[in-house]
Amino acid sequence: MFILFTDFGYEGPYVGQMKAVLYAGAPQTPVVDLMHDAPVFRPDAAGRLLAAYGRGLPGGSITLAVVDPGVGGERRALAAQADGRWWLGPDNGLLVPALHRCRDVAVWQLATPADAAPSFHGRDLFAPAALQVLKEGRVSGQALPPGELVGWDAVEPVPAILYIDRYGNAVTGLDGDGLANTAVVEAGYRAFRFARTFGCVAPGEAFWYRNSSGLVELAVNQGRADEWPGVELGAPVKVFEAHAAGQPGGEESS
């Protein structure tokens, strides 16, 4: 199974061109669109989402992750085998949060084909490499120590809104397990207190919860969190103890 994760968007030709290469080489292999509206030009933020959304991917899956503002430049192209799954993408920190969750990680630097378009490595480099993984169980490349990857020693929660879904819920880069239920999350001019899920609060009430992928998400029951000033893509979020949120002298906890 191929898994696609990009910032290409769902409109335009780019996703289709990648899929065409995969289907031409492996017409019977499913291709799953995990996400194509990842944070644009933000491999650090996109990597947090990739790690969260990729936790339940099946063993043997091959993920092609492309959020690659440095395409065609000096950045390396990577393939990694980690705990029975494969991950392919640029060496810009995008893959690192997902690989950090794994115990057994092997990494290779991929060579760029001579005929690859310098602006479209998703189609011309990563898709062919994914087909080699599927058919041969390996890639052609130079082995790299995982610790040499860009961002390997700097994996931290991202205290910002990384994604807003069609319901207006705001997904942050904070790990839900890192917050106590007593914490208050502030974004823009609003404070969000914890609730387990939507049915635990009244319609129109704002809250934060641990979403199904383990991230802190800001929401309004039967409403849109993103309609409030300051709750927008890229906006910073702060975490306070409940008794101190929004009060002078309150202690910020992250």
Read off the tokens for 250.
Answer: 């309150």
d(CA 10, CA 129): 23
Place of tokens 């640029």: 90
pLDDT in single tens digits along all 254 residues of the chain: 999 999 999 999 999 999 999 999 999 999 999 999 999 999 999 999 999 999 889 999 999 999 999 999 999 999 999 999 999 999 999 999 999 999 999 999 999 999 999 999 999 999 999 999 999 999 999 999 999 999 999 888 999 999 999 999 999 999 999 999 999 999 998 999 999 999 999 999 999 999 999 999 999 999 999 999 999 999 999 999 876 444 433 455 54
For 35-84, the pLDDT digits (tens) are 999 999 999 999 999 999 998 899 999 999 999 999 999 999 999 999 99
Query: What Cα–Cα distance (Å) separates residue 17 from each residue in 8, 57, 89, 225, 238?
Result: 11, 23, 17, 35, 40
For 79-102, the pLDDT digits (tens) are 999 999 999 999 999 999 999 999
For the chain, give the longest Cα–Cα distance: 62
pTM: 0.91
d(CA 254, CA 245): 12
Place of tokens 């069609």: 166
SS3 content of the chain, % helix, strand, coil (to 5): 25, 30, 45
Delineate the domains of the chain, giving CATH numbers in brackets: 2-148 (3.40.50.10790), 158-244 (2.40.30.90)
Provide the phi-psi class of 41: left if phi over 0, else alpha when psi is between -120 and 50, else beta.
Answer: left
